[in-house]
């Protein structure tokens, strides 16, 4: 425990006393040592039974004083009794809003109840609170489990995806038995198993500009008409900006996180007039500049770590512990070095409060694409050549084009070819240069056996392909192949030479070679 900012508790003090000579003679110390579970149990001031271990000779003669004050409690954590320097002196019986803890809940939450900064009043506040988690994936998994375990009474989950085997490396709320099940339902079952005292509402739909205000505005139920906190478990910029603006309009705090490879970050936005996501990132990065987790990978335990931090922030918000929140700070974490850092965030004086939701796909795609969106075919929002080409779990993040795919380059600028037609041409003597535009690590998993070169789509240059002849370009699901073709056309390559493999290697595996592994 070297270097940890722990407050000295009864266990720590008693342990130190046991190291001293004649410790048993210190009979007037105000500590009782109780083993079990790694935590100490405060004794009452009267009626203290004889110690279980008489040789220790310790008695409690008075309450420990001088604990730090909590910040002003939130409405959910408010009690009729005023805080003073000793939280043990608070009259929790004064807390009266119709929320009571059953005997079973008292037993379940006992480690919370003995914490001065939680106690009975805080646990009642948790039971009454309602939290909406957008995304039941890597971040949402650990966050949802710990919110349920902590006794947050009303939890909403938004996710339109279903469980895929590739999710299980990091999305620990799901299991092998729930593959193919909707993530909302899979998460709900696991949460109820963890804590049957919580209520879970599921929204098996996308969180979009069309659905956001309804989902947030309706609240958890008629009796709980407003969510207290929103948690961001999304994996893309449009959704994060949407969450930010919707919460800004409704005045809701939300807890943000993002992960990639070995790094993550977390912050609390829109809390008591504090900074929001647009103060951290006023404009999204250019499309394609930041790889997704499906493309760049993510250490399985990383979203679990960040999701736990998000759950911690949510609990602190509900308990009214505002002084230590990550509002105005973005906590960064590097798993390779096991180091945390901070980035300060200040509210921009020029930022105006959001008054309406916008087209976030267009906003994050850039002005040129946003201008062309009116002429886009709605089918472009589906996976290459239709949803049937998607993996069993639905989305694969980088392999699902937004409604802006196809706007970056006109459909006549280069050729597209399906796996069956491609195989027929190859059998007929076609001999193109074959370029894999995935990451090298993906090529190591599975590749077309006649691949000539591997170059990530962001790095493709003219000198990566022959000066003459046709080129077949493929990726995982067809999206990065399109972007690579677009890049080469922009660099002056004749688009008639380029062929993008529709659906990528996933569709090739489905239609041509089922023995290939899927990832």
Query: Mind telling me the catalytic residues?
Result: 293, 475
Q: 């009454």: which residue's tokens? A: 128
Q: Which residue bears the tokens 């375990």?
A: 149
- Mention every residue, 6+ apart, whose C-beta is less than 8 A from residue 408: 287, 369, 482, 483, 486
Alpha-carbon gap, residue 464 to 473, rounded angstroms: 12
Neighbours of 132 (CB within 10 A): 25
267 three-state secondary structure: strand
Contact 314, 228 (CB under 8 A): no
DSSP code per residue over 347-398: --TTPPPP-S---HHHHHH-HHHHHHGGG--GGGGSSTT-GGGS-TTS--GG
| Rounded distance between C-alpha atoms, residue 201 and residue 185, angstroms | 10
Closest CA to 274 of 307, 299, 250, 252: 252
Closest CA to 519 of 227, 167, 224, 12: 167
From the DSSP assignment, how many helices (H) and strands (E) are in the chain? 17, 13
Length of the chain equals: 519
- Report the candidate in 96, 93, 149, 102 with the shortest Cα–Cα distance to residue 126: 149
Radius of gyration of the chain (CA): 28
Among 383, 403, 379, residue whose Cα is nearest residue 393: 383
- Contact assessment for residue 135 and residue 234, using Cβ atoms and an 8 Å cutoff: yes
The answer to whether the CB of 317 falls within 8 A of the CB of 253 is yes
Three-point CA angle 164, 437, 475, nearest 5°: 35
DSSP per-residue letters across 31-51: -----STT---PPPSSSPPPP
| DSSP strand pairing (263-269 vs 329-334) | antiparallel
CB atoms within 10 A of CB 278: 18
Residues 6 or more apart whose CB falls under 8 angstroms from that of 380 comprise 401, 403, 404, 405, 406, 407
Residue-wise burial string across 439-454, b where 16 or more C-beta atoms lie within 10 A, e elsewhere: beebbeebbbeeeeeb
Residue 120 is classified by DSSP as H
SS3 211: coil
């Amino acid at each position: 425990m070297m270097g940890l900012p722990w407050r000295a508790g009864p266990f720590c003090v008693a342990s130190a006393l046991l190291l001293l000579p004649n410790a048993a003679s210190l009979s007037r110390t105000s500590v009782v040592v109780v083993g079990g579970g790694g935590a100490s149990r405060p004794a009452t001031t009267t009626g203290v039974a004889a110690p279980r271990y008489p040789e220790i000779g310790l008695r409690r003669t008075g309450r420990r004083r001088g604990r730090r004050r909590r910040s002003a409690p939130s409405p959910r954590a408010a009690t009729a009794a005023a805080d003073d320097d000793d939280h043990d002196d608070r009259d929790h019986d004064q807390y009266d809003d119709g929320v009571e803890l059953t005997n079973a809940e008292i037993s379940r939450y006992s480690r919370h109840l003995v914490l001065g900064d939680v106690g009975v009043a805080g646990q009642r506040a948790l039971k009454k609170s309602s939290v909406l988690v957008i995304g039941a994936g890597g971040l949402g998994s650990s966050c949802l489990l710990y919110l349920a375990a902590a006794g947050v009474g009303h939890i909403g989950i938004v996710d339109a995806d279903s469980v895929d085997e590739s999710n299980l490396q990091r999305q620990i709320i799901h299991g092998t038995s729930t593959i193919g099940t909707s993530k909302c339902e899979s998460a709900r079952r696991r949460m109820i198993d963890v804590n049957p005292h919580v209520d879970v509402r599921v929204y098996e739909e996308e969180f979009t500009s069309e659905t956001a205000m309804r989902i947030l505005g309706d609240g958890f139920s008629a009796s709980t008409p407003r969510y207290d906190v929103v948690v961001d478990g999304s994996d893309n910029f449009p959704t994060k900006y949407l969450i930010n603006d919707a919460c800004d309009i409704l005045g809701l705090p939300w807890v943000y996180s993002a992960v990639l490879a070995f790094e993550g970050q977390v912050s609390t936005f829109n809390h008591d007039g504090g900074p929001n996501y647009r103060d951290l990132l006023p404009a999204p990065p250019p499309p394609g500049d930041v790889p997704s987790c499906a493309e760049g990978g993510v250490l399985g335990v990383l979203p679990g770590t960040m999701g736990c931090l998000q759950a911690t922030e949510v609990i602190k918000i509900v308990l009214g512990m505002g002084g230590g929140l990550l509002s105005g700070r973005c906590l960064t974490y590097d798993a390779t070095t096991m180091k945390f850092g901070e980035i300060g965030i200040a509210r921009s004086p020029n930022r105006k409060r959001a008054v309406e939701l916008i087209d976030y796909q267009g906003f994050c795609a850039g002005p040129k694409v946003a201008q062309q969106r009116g002429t886009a075919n709605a089918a472009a929002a589906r996976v290459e050549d239709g949803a049937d080409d998607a993996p069993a779990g639905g989305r694969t993040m980088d392999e699902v084009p937004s409604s802006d795919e196809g706007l970056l380059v006109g459909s006549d600028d280069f050729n597209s070819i399906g796996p069956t037609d491609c195989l027929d041409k190859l059998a007929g003597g076609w001999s193109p240069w074959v370029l894999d535009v995935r990451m090298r690590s993906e090529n190591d998993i599975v590749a077309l056996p006649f691949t000539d070169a591997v170059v990530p789509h962001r790095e493709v240059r003219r000198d990566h392909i022959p000066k003459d002849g046709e080129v077949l370009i493929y990726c995982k699901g067809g999206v990065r192949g399109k972007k690579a073709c677009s890049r080469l056309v922009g660099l002056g390559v004749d688009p008639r030479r380029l062929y993008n493999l529709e659906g990528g290697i996933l569709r090739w595996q489905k239609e041509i070679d089922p023995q290939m592994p899927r990832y």
